[in-house]
Amino acid sequence: MFLFAEGGGAHHTPLIVEFINQYLGEPIYRFQMGYTYPAWQWIINKLGVKTTPEALFGEYSPETAIPWYTIMFVIACILTMIVIWIFKGKLSEDDPTTGQLTLEAGFVALKDLITDVVGKHGYRYFPVVATFAVLVLISNLMDFSRFLCRRQLPLTLRSRSVLRPLFIITTLESAKTDSSII
């Protein structure tokens, strides 16, 4: 219901995507038209399907050469590496920094979650689960950055995003008072 409240439910393109496609869209578009478009036509013809690459993947143009989800995923990956690098700081057993303590708390929480849900043998999947957890966290936090959006979303759409940090803050506050968590 809320998706159709403003602008007829049309999707807007984030400003960062427009900026990147403005500078990199034309060479990518030429590459797509020279190599990937004919390759997809060949594959579609071999499969005997009566359609075109445009019908499957959308319009080919310099403005849409790099899809928004690809750009946002790359930004989320870069931000994830930066956040972990900042939190990591200088690792020390004797004098850990607050960033190191935050990373260790996240590590323990994810480790306990995996062992509770999957069991002791699930610990070998920890790197994959931790990677996705941090990537999802950073992607959700990217929702707050105004430079990625063209216009202000109505409060009804943003209310879910506002509750995420409140949940995190209350969880951290309860962890401070409950010494069994740390």
How many other C-beta atoms are found inside a 10 Å radius of the C-beta of residue 92?
9
Q: Which two tokens stand for residue 134?
A: 């941090």
Q: What is the pTM of this model?
A: 0.61
| Gap between the Cα atoms of 15 and 17, Å rounded | 5
pLDDT for the residue 148: 53
Average pLDDT, the chain: 75
pLDDT of residue 119: 87
Using pLDDT thresholds of 50, 70 and 90, give the confidence band for residue 34. Answer: very high
Report how far apart the first and last C-alpha atoms of the chain are (Å, whole number). 42
pLDDT of 174 higher than 60: no
Residue pLDDT, tens place only, 100-130:
888 888 889 888 888 888 888 888 888 888 8
